[in-house]
Amino acid sequence: MKIFLLFAFCCLVPVSSASPRRYEAIFNFGDSLSDTGNFLLSGALAYPVIGKLPYGETFFKHPTGRCSDGRLIIDFVAEAFRLPYLPPYLALSKGQTPRHGVNFAVSGATALDKEFFNEPKLRSLLWTNASLSVQIGWFKKLKSSLCTTKQDCDNYLKKSLFFVGEIGGNDYNYHAFVGENVVQLKASVPLVVEAITKAISMLIEEGAVELVVPGNLPVGCSAVCMTLFQSPNKADYDSRNGCLKAYNAFAKYHNNKLKDALQTLRLKHPHAKIIYADYYGAAMRFFHAPKTYGFTGGTLTACCGGGGPYNFNYSARCGHTGSKACGDPSTYANWDGIHLTEAAYRSIADGLINGGFLTPSL
């Protein structure tokens, strides 16, 4: 008993309790890959099922508004820096000062403002108007409650980590859903990248110094993409992972344009540390070697869905009648056809923090 107690006490003391926190706060902007509740709090009209189980069944044991079974990349990043999980901006009560950071991400959000989706077919698809610039506006509004004088703000924000993205994926998704092909999608890449770089510049003007800017995931490996764009032509699939080559090439195209733009920004703002987060590369590790990463259920088939070759059925999406979740989401990379499982997000976060998928590293 004594030995047990001693053991228990020794291990309750955090190893690095003597060292100061690396960051005071994390501020996050993005879409469903990092939304910890804003979309649900805003009503989630386009996707109410995220407000009920099986969403949230892992770890939290209840739905939180995260589009996954459990934690997201941003949750694992907060854990790694010993900060609390970021509260969603829309959950803050008046006068609350979340000194350790806030999450502004909204599921379905786009990098470009809603005016870019005015065409009726596109407009009806748009889940939210809370584009990246709207989220930055929320940050500016909140800033005065976080710090007061310019010097106070500069000191505080210098010690904060800013995550800008992943964002932009939905700008392309909406266009793809109305039937645009990969060649047509490429036309919007410069605009999307420009919206992201504008947001970064605005944050730097506000006092941000360390910024992480994630690229897009290998969308050609997602169950929704594999289902909607399945092809009878074997040559359309990558023999190394079974994914759709054209859509992964498109994700890489966006990522390369984004990396080029970040390089230009670094020259413009030499005092800032602008870090590219390679979500694509970190995720590709498990698409190439699923079993090595524990994904014995597979990486291309969704854990939760209503049938079909990749368990994605638009009329029986995860959470709707006719769908069901797999027994053990930790053995699947894909959660609901569109989003990844906690296990997959954990693996990507580990790739960022320990695996060399941040350039430059933190």
Ligand X SMILES: *[C@@H]1O[C@H](CO)[C@@H](O)[C@H](O)[C@H]1NC(C)=O
306 or 319, CB closer to ligand X?
306
Q: Does the annotation count 160 as an active-site position?
A: no
CB of 45 to ligand X, least distance (A): 7
Q: Which of 69, 238, 336, 347 is catalytic?
A: 336
Main-chain dihedrals φ then ψ at residue 308, nearest 5 degrees: 100, 165
Q: Does the annotation count 336 as an active-site position?
A: yes
CB of 123 to ligand X, least distance (A): 8
Q: Measured between alpha carbons, how far is residue 173 from residues 1, 126, 157, 192, 228 in Å?
A: 57, 10, 33, 12, 12
269 or 324, CB closer to ligand X?
324
Q: Which of 31, 188, 339, 347 is catalytic?
A: 339
**How many whole angstroms separate alpha carbon 234 and alpha carbon 101?**
47
CB of 67 to ligand X, least distance (A): 16
159 or 324, CB closer to ligand X?
324
**How many whole angstroms separate alpha carbon 323 and alpha carbon 319?**
6
Residues in touch with ligand X (CB under 6 A): 114, 128-129, 306-308, 313, 315-316, 322
Looking at this protein, which amino acid is placed at residue 352?
Answer: L
CB of 37 to ligand X, least distance (A): 16
Looking at this protein, which amino acid is placed at residue 155?
Answer: N
CB of 294 to ligand X, least distance (A): 27
CB of 117 to ligand X, least distance (A): 10
168 or 306, CB closer to ligand X?
306
List the Cα angle 349/91/61 in 5-degree steps: 55
298 or 351, CB closer to ligand X?
298
Enclosing H/E stretch for 164: strand 160-164
Preceding amide of 290 cis, omega within 30: no
**How many whole angstroms separate alpha carbon 244 and alpha carbon 300?**
11
Q: Which residue in 293, 311, 303, 307 sits closest to 329, CA to CA?
A: 303
Judge contact between 199 and 105, C-beta under 8 A.
Answer: no
Q: Does the annotation count 32 as an active-site position?
A: yes
Judge contact between 22 and 97, C-beta under 8 A.
Answer: no
138 or 357, CB closer to ligand X?
138
Sheet with 358-359, edge to edge strand ranges: 101-103, 25-29, 160-164, 210-214, 273-277, 358-359
Q: Which of 31, 32, 35, 254 is catalytic?
A: 32
**Catalytic residue annotation:** 32, 336, 339
